[in-house]
Chains A and B, each alone.
Chain A
């Protein structure tokens, strides 16, 4: 089902671009009526997904871009992150055991805990990967404040 994007931006796959991504997401999610706690969790999850693209998909500091789209489908917010990096094996992308205290590897846990569903798939024929994440967030009613 197609729907009009609420937010659509392309950023360089560089850590310095993450702040701009977060700021854009905060604005869009505020307009969509997400409460502050939900908004901050969603921003963190999308940020972590972008970090994974920068660190792992575009490994070794490769130049590249990341397209981020946010859209509403019925009561769900749909976040899509499209990269143009070599294909990633989705079977290798899974949350880790949080009872083991070690640095790193938390990003997928943050995504998995926050989103209602998510799916990563390498794009056939075309180079790149597409991560889609969905979260039910009721639309803000007219005049309502969060």
Chain B
């Protein structure tokens, strides 16, 4: 089931994304990430339960990353699934995004 939620942990916001991120709802992912960046100093996007992502989903992540970088905020992808990593590699973005394995690492 597709789902996207924010969990606030002090100055850190954890965005959890699940399911197949495609054009039908990637705007919700984009908005959730941008909302999180509007309320927290640091944002982590948890992607371990994403079984599919398309270019519109990747665009949502890139926009979040660029938004954070522009405002001096921290932004990381957490536990990216193999499906996500594969598409990031295709887009040559796997070395652009800060990627960590755990929520604790994203908060550090």
Interface of A toward B, CB cutoff 8 Å: 15-16, 18-19, 22, 40-41, 44, 47-48, 51, 54-55, 98-99, 101-107, 109-110, 113
A18-B22, A110-B55 given; 16 more Cβ-contact pairs under 8 Å: A18-B23, A44-B54, A44-B87, A48-B54, A48-B55, A51-B23, A51-B54, A98-B91, A98-B92, A101-B96, A103-B58, A103-B62, A104-B56, A104-B59, A107-B55, A113-B90
Partner of A15, one of B23, B60, B87: B23
B90 contacts A40, C-beta separation under 8 Å: no
Contacts from B to A (Cβ < 8 Å):
20, 22-25, 52, 54-56, 58-60, 62-63, 66, 83, 86-87, 90-93, 96
Q: Ordered nearest first, which 3 A-B pairs have the shortest CB separation? A: A15-B24, A103-B59, A106-B55
Please indicate the chain A residues that have their CB under 8 angstroms from the CB of B86 in the complex.
40
Residues of A within 8 A of B60 (CB): 103
Q: From the candidates B20, B22, B90, B96, name the one contacting A110 in the complex (CB within 8 A).
A: B90
Cross-interface CB contact of B63 among A55, A103, A107, cutoff 8 Å: A103
A22/B52 in contact, CB under 8 A: yes
Q: Jot down 15 A-B pairs with beta carbons below 8 A, ordered by A.
A: A15-B23, A18-B24, A18-B54, A19-B20, A19-B22, A41-B90, A47-B22, A55-B23, A101-B62, A101-B66, A101-B93, A101-B96, A104-B59, A106-B59, A110-B90
A136 to chain B, nearest CB (A): 19
Considering the complex, give the chain B residue whose CB is closest to the CB of A50.
B23
Task: Name the distance in Å between A34's Cβ and chain B's nearest Cβ.
Answer: 15
Nearest-Cβ distance from residue A17 to partner chain B, whole angstroms? 9
Give the complex CA separation of A48 and B55 in angstroms: 7
Q: Are A54 and B55 in contact (CB under 8 A)?
A: no
B83, A106: Cβ atoms under 8 Å? no
Separation in Å of the B58 CB from the closest CB of chain A?
Answer: 6
Bound form: Cα–Cα A104–B62 in Å = 9
Contacts of B93 in A (CB 8 A): 101
In whole Å, how far is B37's beta carbon from the nearest beta carbon of chain A?
Answer: 14
A15, A19, A104: which contacts B55 (Cβ < 8 A)?
A104
Contact present for B22 and A15 (CB under 8 Å): yes
Task: Give CA–CA (A107, B56) in the complex, Å.
Answer: 9
